[in-house]
Amino acid sequence: ESIGFHCNLTTKTFLSTLGEKLQGSGISPGQFLALANLTALGPLSQSELADRLAITGATTARLIDRMERDEWVRRERDPEDQRVKMIIPTEKAARTWAEISTAGRAVLDQAYQGVSQEELETVKQILQKIRNNLER
């Protein structure tokens, strides 16, 4: 009955539905989320991307390895800290993002049916308060 349990169920359902919408694109839901972050925020270090995706460093490394193999991203050394590798979306990712981002929007539109903007804002505010409480 906890909020965390319901958030987890909702996240799994979001990702499953997103996976269905992405079929045939060559992009997994995890790769979609990585590209969404990289597209919105620009290049990120591997650890920054792991934090944004809430996954372990090892899982992030495997995700980036697959994305690099499929030419969605490339790794470049950070000019300010040569020990850090920045993850940069490729031109292929940029071209494809315009197409696959519609899948993400479609999932959100489906999920938000019958939910008012006011209700969505309330949920966001409550979840932010919970995150703030847990980060103390």
pLDDT in tens, 19-33: 999 999 889 999 999
Residues 69 and 57: beta-carbon distance below 8 Å: no
Q: Is 48 exposed, middle or buried (0-12, 13-18, 19+ CB in 10 A)?
A: middle
Report DSSP letters for 48-71, one per residue. HHHHHHT--HHHHHHHHHHHHHTT
- Domain containing 95 equals 3-135
Q: What is the CATH classification number for the domain harbouring 121? A: 1.10.10.10
When divided into structural domains, the chain yields a total of 1
pTM here is: 0.85
φ, ψ dihedrals at 55, nearest 5° = -130, 165
Percent over 70 (pLDDT), the chain: 100
